[in-house]
Amino acid sequence: MIGENIRAAREAKGYKQIDLARRMHISPTRLNFWEKNKREPNIQMLQKLSYVLEVSCDYLIFGKEALKRGPVLTEEKQVQDILDQNTIKLAQKLIKAGVLKEGEDLTQGQLEKILRVLRIVLEDVDE
């Protein structure tokens, strides 16, 4: 879940919720809702979280990337940047297609549906 990933990344940076909320220019309540999976951050907030917490958007969404383990190799960084750009492009296409509304937080249900569809599509690509 995104909330657990946000919390893990925040704690890895040594930030309290109030610290991260200030850096993000959001209310601590909003951050708390994200971390408890009561609400989902929108794409722009995911980008900002990714930047502030120094993790990829993919980590925040999928939790598959290890938290910072030391210096990132240049090639790894390039690959991560491409993944982040693709995540952003996907979100923009979903907004353009009317699947998502720009500036709105995703609900847990919406996120789960999107992830299910993505898994199905990616499985078809692998075959």
What span, in angstroms and rounded, lies between the C-alpha atoms of 73 and 88?
22
The pLDDT value given to residue 114 = 76
Under a CB-based contact definition with an 8 Å cutoff, are residues 38 and 106 in contact?
no
**How many CA atoms lie within 13 Å of 96's alpha carbon, on the beta-carbon side?**
6
Q: State if pTM tops 0.85.
A: no
* Residue 41, helix vs strand vs coil: coil
pLDDT digits (tens, 9 = 90+) for 17-74: 999 999 999 999 999 999 999 999 998 898 899 989 988 888 888 886 544 444 444 5
The string of DSSP letters for 63-118 reads: --SPP--SSPPHHHHHHHHHHHHHHHHHHHHHHHTTSS-TTPPPPHHHHHHHHHHH
Between 32 and 103, residue with greater pLDDT: 32
- Structural domains for the chain: 2-126 (1.10.260.40)
